[in-house]
């Protein structure tokens, strides 16, 4: 009797989490999938099942051009961010000594400040009459404001990379910090030069951190809305802008849902394959 | 080990100048320099927002005009802004308390008891962290509309509970993992039941982590834009207010002043939260 009550108690502990995180997210995602097969006419909602939203919105070159651009931008942002963040994570883990914890707080704190404001900061820096142009003009380095700084995919890449820098450091740092220091000493005692210690031991052992950083950057940035809207201009439109306008101005929810489902599948399926491959490899190594 | 030795100290004292020792020294210097530069660049956009919030000119460009506090004084007189700030605070307090409660209960259940597919359960609860905000925003919008719930501050609060719960869960889970289990077992051996042990042993030993979770969720909710953007009715939160004002160039300085307050407020809270979390991790036997 008592064990029965205990088991019920344990399930009660888990219920709120199950409802908010799991149920809400799963049901919400399920609903937009259902909605993506509905007609645009709100009066005819949930009456039949149609591919119309996919035919009219997903199966057109514009959608794939914008989604392709989003994927390329996110891939570049992921690479730039990891390349720039890796040396800092390495320094904090291996060389910072006492300053380790303070440095970690300093480099990760900006990630918790308003995302909107950090992107907005780039808009005022790169703007035509903005901080950078006025500074260069004042220094006499240019005669006219540079127009190519903002409202293009380059500006999106700069602002997004900067926004995710702080986020990339943590997972890389964690995997670097787990590396057994004795391994490195053994390698250098046996005559390995610092460069080969790094390439043959440190880099491979930190790969899990790099991969999780890559996923944590790539997935949210594909669907980023704020950055392309603030600094992207017409050439920097990303898939979130299409989805938003379907839910906003166009008021065509099935269209927005269909484009969301297509985006989730395009990003999600390769990720699932990656995960199951990694899982199988981890299992065969064990 | 100090990291800031002058370059000369890497040169051997004897006349036998070792090139490789010098190169090693320079590489360490280079990493230290790079980390500093990285930290500066990380804060750069925020620093410009802060700097120009004290500039009397309307344009965000060099050269700076006179120093002024006028924009900050104007904030206090702006009724719409104060209402938005009040809304943000209401949503943030409700969402952070709710999601921390869910995080405490769910985190405890996940760490202490075995669940079928436990790992997958944890991964699934963390999913909202990985999903692009726009997907979260539209799927919650569709879900709430389907169950007959209009756009409102309450809808934003529900969205932010879903958004903040994984943050709280990760803090609470890492707390419960490090908590000394023998204390709980001692209480159980001495005749306390599971609920009594949780309330009298586990919770008091986790106060710092709970406070850290509330603070982190509060800042995350107050700064969150995209989910609020889709779920807002006529009442707006601070980021939505800022978004609405970005169209008007004359309002820019005031937005900079508001942004500065938000950035500094968030940073201060994050530092306090980090100190609490650190103290919580060390707090095992009192």
Give the helix/strand (H/E) hosting B261: helix B252-282
Tell me the nearest-neighbour CA distance from A131 into chain B, angstroms.
5
* Average pLDDT over every residue of A189-196: 88
Residue B64 in any domain: the answer is: no
B108 lies in a domain?
A: yes
- Please provide the distance, in angstroms rounded to a whole number, between the alpha carbons at the two ends of chain B: 32
Residue B185 and residue B189: Cα distance in Å, rounded? 6
What is residue B6's three-state secondary structure?
A: coil
Token digits of residue B218: 């509060």
CB A107 to CB B39 under 8 A? Answer: yes
Query: What does the block give as tokens for A233?
Result: 């201009």
Q: Is the pLDDT of residue B169 over 80?
A: yes
Q: Which tens digits make up the pLDDT trace of B219-265? A: 999 999 999 999 999 999 999 999 999 988 888 999 999 999 999 99
Residue A22 with chain B: CB contacts under 8 Å: 121, 124-125
Whether residue B105 is found in the same domain as residue B141: yes
pLDDT band at B281 (very low <50, low <70, confident <90, very high): low
Nearest residue to A202 via CA among A171, A172, A170 = A172
Q: Is the domain of B278 the same as that of B174?
A: yes
Bridge partners, B94 (sequence order): none
Asked if B15 and B84 sit in the same domain, the reply is: no
Question: Can you give the pLDDT at residue B20?
Answer: 66
Intra-chain end-to-end CA distance of chain A, in Å: 41
Which residue(s) pair with B55 in the sheet? B67
Write the pLDDT tens digit of every residue in A30-72.
989 999 998 877 666 666 788 988 988 899 999 999 999 999 9
pLDDT per residue as tens digits for the range A4-40: 777 787 888 888 888 887 778 888 889 899 999 988 7
Is the predicted pLDDT of residue A214 greater than 50, yes or no? Answer: yes
Residues in A closer than 8 angstroms to B24, CB to CB, are 194
Cα A32 from Cα B38, distance rounded (Å): 41
Does residue B60 lie within any of the structural domains?
no
Contact B102 A16 (CB under 8 A): yes
Residues B151 and B280 occupy one common structural domain: yes
Please state, in angstroms and rounded to a whole number, the distance separating the CA atoms of residues B242 and B228: 13
pLDDT digits (tens, 9 = 90+) for B4-25: 444 444 444 444 456 666 666 6
Name the band, by pLDDT with cuts 50, 70 and 90, for residue B282.
low
Residue B217 sits at φ, ψ, to 5 deg, of -65, -35
Q: Is B239 inside any structural domain?
A: yes
pLDDT score for B16 = 47
d(CA A194, CA A199): 9
Number of domains in chain B: 2
What token pair was written down for B174?
A: 């890492």
- Residues of chain B contacting residue A240, judged by C-beta atoms under 8 Å apart: 132, 134
Q: Which residues of A touch B230 (CB under 8 A)?
A: 247
How large is the average pLDDT for residues B66-82? 91
User: B78 with B27, same domain?
Assistant: no
Question: What part of A 44-73 touches B (C-beta under 8 Å)?
Answer: none
Measured in angstroms, the CA of B285 and the nearest CA of chain A are apart by: 23
Residue B151 domain flag: yes
Q: Which residues of B touch A18 (CB under 8 A)?
A: 106
Q: How much is the pTM? A: 0.88
Same domain, B88 and B34: no
CB B157 within 8 Å of CB B237:
no
Is the minimum CB–CB distance between B101 and chain A shorter than 8 Å?
A: yes
Q: Provide, as residue numbers in chain A, all residues whose Cβ is less than 8 Å from the Cβ of B105.
A: 13-14, 16-17
pLDDT digits (tens, 9 = 90+) for B176-221: 998 888 888 898 889 888 888 889 889 999 999 999 999 999 999 9
- Phi first, then psi: what are they for A127, rounded to 5°? -55, 160
pLDDT of residue B136: 92
Whether the Cβ atoms of residue B185 and residue B176 lie closer than 8 Å to each other: no
Q: Residue B137 CA to chain centroid, in angstroms?
A: 19
The DSSP code for B55 is B
Q: Check if B194 contacts A (Cβ < 8 Å).
A: yes
Q: What is the CATH number of the domain that holds B176?
A: 1.10.3720.10
Q: For residues A131, A136, A137 and A142, what is the CA-based torsion angle, rounded to 10 degrees?
A: -140
Look at residue B2 and tell me if it is in a domain.
no
For residues A155 and B171, give the distance between their C-alpha atoms in angstroms, rounded to a whole number.
Answer: 34
Cis peptide upstream of residue B63 (ω within 30 degrees of 0): yes
Do B129 and B214 share a structural domain? yes
B135 touches chain A (CB under 8 A): yes
**What is the Cα–Cα distance from B267 to A78, expressed in whole angstroms?**
25
Q: Are B142 and B73 in contact (CB under 8 A)?
A: no
Same domain? For B135 and B27 the reply is no
Q: Are residues B25 and B116 in the same domain?
A: no
Q: Is B119 exposed, middle or buried (0-12, 13-18, 19+ CB in 10 A)?
A: exposed
Q: Could you report the per-residue pLDDT of B264-279, keeping only the tens digit for each?
A: 999 999 888 888 877 7
What integer pLDDT is reported at residue B14 of this predicted model? Answer: 44
Task: With both helix axes pointing from N to C terminus, report the angle between A100-108 and B19-53 in degrees, rounded to the nearest 10.
Answer: 40
- Specify if B57 maps to a domain: no
Over residues A217-224, mean pLDDT: 93
Chain A CB contacts of B166 below 8 Å:
21
Does A113 contact B267 at a Cβ distance shorter than 8 Å?
Answer: yes
- What is the C-alpha separation between A232 and A73, in angstroms, rounded? 11
- The reply to whether ipTM tops 0.90 is no
Specify the range with the lowest mean pLDDT, choosing from A76-85, B57-66, B226-235: B57-66
Contacts of A85 (CB under 8 A, 6+ apart): A165, A168, A169, A172, A213, B38
pLDDT of residue B4: 45
If you average pLDDT over residues A221-232, what whole number do you get?
95
Residue A255 near residue A245, CB atoms below 8 Å: no
Question: Considering CB atoms only, which of B115, B135, B146 is closest to A260?
Answer: B135
Averaged pLDDT, B66-83: 91
Please say whether the beta carbons of B34 and A95 come within 8 A: no
Choose between B284 and A73: higher pLDDT: A73
Q: Please tell me whether residues B146 and B18 are part of one structural domain.
A: no
Q: Nearest-CA distance from A151 to chain B in Å?
A: 15
Taking only the tens place, the pLDDT of each residue in B93-135 is 999 999 999 999 999 999 988 888 778 888 888 888 888 899 9
Mean pLDDT for the stretch of residues A269-276: 83
Determine contact, residues B186/A76, Cβ cutoff 8 Å: no
How far is residue B144 from each of residues A19, A46, A131, A249, B152, measured CA to CA in Å? 14, 16, 42, 20, 11
Residue B12: per-residue pLDDT: 43
Distance between CA atoms of residues B252 and B52, nearest Å: 10
By CA distance, what is A214's nearest residue in B? B130
Whether B62 is covered by a domain: the verdict is: no
Three-state secondary structure string covering B155-209: HHHHHHHHHHHHHHHHHHHHHHHHCCHHHHHHHHHCCCCHHHHHHHHHHHHCHHH
Distance CA A156, CA A70 (A): 10
Q: pLDDT band at residue B57, thresholds of 50, 70 and 90?
A: confident
Per-residue confidence (pLDDT) for residue A45, from 0 to 100: 64
Q: Do residue B20 and residue B134 come from a single domain?
A: no
Reported as a single tens digit per residue, the pLDDT across A110-123 is 888 999 999 999 99
Q: Quick one: B48 and B178 in the same domain?
A: no
In percent, the amount of chain A with pLDDT more than 70 equals 95
Least confident of A66-80, A129-143, B87-101: A129-143
Domain carrying residue B83: 70-285
């Amino acid at each position: 009797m008592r064990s029965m009550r205990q088991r019920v108690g344990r399930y009660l502990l888990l219920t709120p989490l199950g409802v908010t995180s799991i149920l809400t997210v799963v049901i919400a995602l399920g609903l937009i999938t259902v909605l993506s097969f509905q007609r645009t006419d709100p009066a005819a909602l949930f009456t039949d099942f149609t591919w119309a939203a996919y035919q009219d919105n997903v199966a057109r070159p514009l959608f794939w051009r914008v989604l392709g651009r989003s994927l390329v931008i996110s891939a570049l942002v992921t690479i730039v961010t990891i390349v720039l963040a890796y040396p800092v994570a390495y320094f904090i883990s291996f060389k910072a000594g006492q300053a380790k914890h303070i440095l970690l707080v300093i480099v990760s704190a900006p990630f918790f400040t308003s995302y909107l404001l950090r992107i907005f900061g780039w808009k005022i820096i790169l703007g035509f009459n903005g901080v950078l142009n006025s500074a260069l003009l004042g220094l006499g380095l240019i005669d006219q404001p540079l127009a190519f700084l903002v409202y293009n995919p380059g500006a999106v890449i700069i602002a997004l990379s900067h926004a995710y820098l702080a986020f990339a450091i943590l997972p890389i740092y964690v995997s670097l910090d787990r590396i057994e220091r004795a391994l490195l000493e053994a390698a250098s005692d046996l005559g390995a030069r610092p460069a080969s210690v790094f390439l043959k031991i440190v880099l491979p052992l930190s790969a899990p951190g790099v991969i999780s950083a890559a996923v944590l950057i790539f997935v949210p940035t594909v669907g980023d809305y704020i950055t392309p809207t603030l600094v992207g201009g017409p050439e920097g439109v990303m898939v979130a802008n299409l989805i938003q306008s379907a839910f906003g101005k166009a008021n065509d929810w099935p269209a927005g849902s269909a484009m969301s489902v297509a985006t989730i599948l395009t990003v999600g399926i390769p990720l699932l394959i990656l995960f199951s491959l990694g899982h199988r490899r981890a299992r065969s190594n064990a | 080990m100090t990291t800031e030795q002058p370059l000369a100290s890497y040169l051997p004292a004897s006349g036998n100048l070792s090139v490789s020792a010098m190169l090693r020294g320079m590489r360490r210097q280079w990493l230290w320099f790079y980390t500093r530069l990285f930290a500066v660049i990380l804060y750069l956009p925020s620093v410009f927002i802060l700097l120009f919030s004290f500039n009397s000119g309307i344009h965000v460009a060099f050269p700076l005009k006179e120093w002024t506090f006028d924009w900050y004084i104007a904030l206090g007189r702006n009724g719409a802004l104060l209402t938005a700030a009040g809304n943000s605070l209401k949503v943030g307090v409700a969402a952070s308390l709710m999601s921390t409660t869910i995080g405490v209960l769910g985190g405890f259940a996940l760490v202490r008891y075995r669940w079928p597919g436990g790992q997958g359960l944890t991964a699934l609860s963390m999913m909202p962290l990985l999903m692009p905000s726009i997907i979260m925003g539209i799927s919650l919008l569709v879900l709430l509309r389907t169950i007959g719930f209009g756009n409102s501050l309450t809808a934003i609060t529900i969205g932010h509970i879903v958004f903040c719960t994984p943050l709280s869960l990760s803090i609470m889970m890492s707390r419960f993992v490090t908590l000394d289990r023998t204390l709980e077992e001692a209480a159980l051996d001495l005749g306390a039941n599971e609920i009594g042990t949780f309330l009298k042993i586990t919770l008091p030993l986790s106060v710092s982590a709970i406070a850290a979770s509330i603070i982190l969720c509060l800042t995350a909710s107050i700064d969150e834009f995209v989910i609020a953007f889709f779920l807002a009715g006529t009442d707006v939160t601070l980021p939505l207010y800022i978004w609405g004002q970005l169209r008007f160039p004359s309002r820019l300085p005031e937005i900079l002043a508001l942004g500065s307050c938000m950035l500094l407020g968030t940073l201060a809270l994050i530092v306090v939260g980090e100190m609490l979390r650190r103290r919580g991790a060390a707090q095992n036997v009192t």
